Structure 1
Amino acid sequence: MFTFEPNKTYSMPPFFGGAEFNPNAEGRVNDSVEINFTQITDGNRLADYLPKGFILLKPELHICFGQYRQIDFLAGGAYNIIRVTVPVYFNGMRDKLVGEFNLVIWENKTAPITGGREESGMPKIYADIEDFHIFREKYFTNASFEGNTFLRMEMINPQPIQGQWLKEVRANHANLNGLALRYIPKIGAPGADLIQAALYPASAKIKSAWIGKGSIQWTKLTSEQNKHQAHIINSLASLPIIETKPAIMTKGILSMKPITGRVLK
């Protein structure tokens, strides 16, 4: 009969064996390129998405496209990611910290989705996400599902960030607190078996950075086009945009540290 060993960690399916717990383990992305977009929107609308304990700090929607290559935990493989977050303060009974609350994370590979979803509490779902296209001073990409494009992201005329400004960008990426709500639904019944606020730490060593004009374009979809995601996409597409700030592109090394994550209380 299969039995769990208390000193090991397990993933689905668990009965083939677990791994020794390593408190120093991290997921290293040796070639990380990200473009971060910031949009000013209605703070009251954003706050409606936040669970109890999370306080909105700014009426900002942060949308990040990441192109990750040379990934250690994928044997040198790659994937792309789109994170939609808002800046928050978590005011718990025990924990009090500032971070980015993840509303939704799209990724185009199964392994990082399963590793970061139920196991770490991040709201990861699948999408087809194009690599960067670079054409005449324009960086652009798009995300789609089953052939239906729902998001296009552009950065135009990027200019290098240098000096003190680059130091500030590096400092802002030295410690990254990814926050989310871990939700495990019941089987065969309404409601949840588990609801927890979760912390997913990360850090980045930024080698270089650029700034340019940013553009975000959502396309609403019907439930027939995207049954499981249309309500997410359409909610984000319906937010009123007051201003789109310049986009920031960074290149460097990203260290994901889920093993040091924890349940927030």
Structure 2
Amino acid sequence: MFRFEDNKCYRMPAHFGGFDCPGPEAALYYKDAVSVTFTYTTDEKQLASYVPEGFELLRPELNISYSQFREIDWMAGGAYNLVQVSVPARFNGKRDQLEGQFILVVWENKTWPILGGREETGIPKIYADIEDLHTIQPNYYTSASYEGNTFLRLELLGAKPVNGQLLSEMQASAATINALGWRYIPKVGAPGADLSQPILYPQGAEVHSAWAGSGTVKWTQLSWEQNPGQWHIIKALAELPMLEMAPVIMAKGVIILKPNNGRVLE
């Protein structure tokens, strides 16, 4: 009969056996990463309604980051794409007070990173088909869809290299990133949660090169029939007004995730 061992780490289905838990200094490396970040101001009250109690919205900004990851060590050199939507926030707890990006939702196009991110680190990950980054320089395009129904198109236009002091500032700010989230595990067969807790997932990036340009974000609302599990998420984000778009930034480099330094915030 299978028995759990207290000194092992497990993932579902756990009854096939555990593994030695990585130490606190273990890190996950994404050796070939391209990210394009879109930021626009929106209605503060409307945006704050999606930020849980305990967190404070710092600015009425919505950040949409598209990332194309290649040469991922923990995926044996594999790859996936994601779209992350987040807001600048501060956690005000009894023990912890820190600022970072509170993640509203992450779409990814591979199952394996979704499972680990949801269960183990509390990042709200769900599935979508996400295109690789298409380019007709100096313009870049991508889109996200579900079963053939596109709900998001992103465009970076007129990208120009970033150098000097501005690049140095970007490199410094990206070195340490506090990804904040809310881990919610529902009860089985009953209302409420078995786990409902704020979390910190430390990460960072080594930015090797960067570009800046203008950009567009186009949300397309889907019906329940087109996307029964996500339509309400897309609707909420699409209804946030785009008041002012900041310069769009594309960066290339290495992403470093530190899940074993993650923790529940108090």
Deviation at 1:214, TM superposition (A): 1.4
Determine whether 1:17 maps to 2:17: yes
- 2:45 paired residue number: 44
Aligned to 2:203: 202
Question: Which residue does the alignment assign to 1:55?
Answer: 56
Shift of 1:234: 0.6
Task: Measure how far apart 1:6 and its partner are.
Answer: 1.4
Distance 1:143 1:153 in 2: 9
Letter in 1 for 2:52: P
Q: Distance in 2 between matches of 1:102 and 1:191?
A: 21
Amino acid at match of 2:112: A
| Distance in 2 separating the partners of 1:174 and 1:71 | 18
| Secondary structure of 1:170 counterpart | helix
Query: Distance between the aligned counterparts of 1:179 and 1:233, measured in 2?
Result: 21
Matching of residues 131-146 of structure 1 within 5 Å: 131-146=132-147
2:80 aligned partner, one-letter code: Y
Between the aligned partners of 2:51 and 2:105, the Cα distance in structure 1 is 12
Superposition RMSD in Å: 0.8
Aligned partner of residue 114 in structure 2, secondary structure? helix
Instruction: Tell me how far apart the structure 1 counterparts of residues 189 and 95 of structure 2 sit (CA, whole Å).
Output: 34
* Structure 1 residue 101 corresponds to structure 2 residue 99: no
1:4 matched residue in structure 2: 4
CA distance in 1, matches of 2:173, 2:17: 39
SS of equivalent residue, structure 1 residue 5: coil
Task: Give the corresponding residue for 1:156.
Answer: 157
CA deviation after TM superposition for structure 1 residue 136, in Å? 4.2
Alpha carbons of structure 1 residues 204 and 136: separation in structure 2 relative to 1, 3 Å: closer
Q: Distance in 1 between matches of 2:200 and 2:18?
A: 23
Q: Which runs of 4+ in 1 moved over 2 A?
A: none
Instruction: Give the secondary structure class of the aligned counterpart of 1:167.
Output: helix
Between the aligned partners of 1:118 and 1:45, the Cα distance in structure 2 is 28
Residue deviations 1:64-116 (CA, integer Å, cap 9, x gap): 00000000011111000000000000001111100100000000001100010
- Identity, % of aligned positions: 55
Contact in 1 for aligned 2:155/2:215 (Cα 8 Å): yes
Is 1:68 matched with 2:106?
no
Q: Aligned pair 1:130/2:131, yes or no?
A: yes
Number of positions where the alignment pairs a residue of Structure 1 with one of Structure 2: 265
Aligned twin of 1:176:
177
What runs of 5+ residues in structure 1 fail to find an aligned partner? none
Range moving further from structure 2, 251-260 or 187-196 = 187-196
Whole-Å separation in 1 of the counterparts to 2:137 and 2:70 = 24
Between the aligned partners of 2:60 and 2:137, the Cα distance in structure 1 is 33
Q: Give the whole-Å Cα distance in 2 for the aligned partners of 1:151 and 1:53.
A: 30
TM (norm. structure 1) is 0.98
What SS class does the counterpart of residue 47 from structure 2 fall into? helix
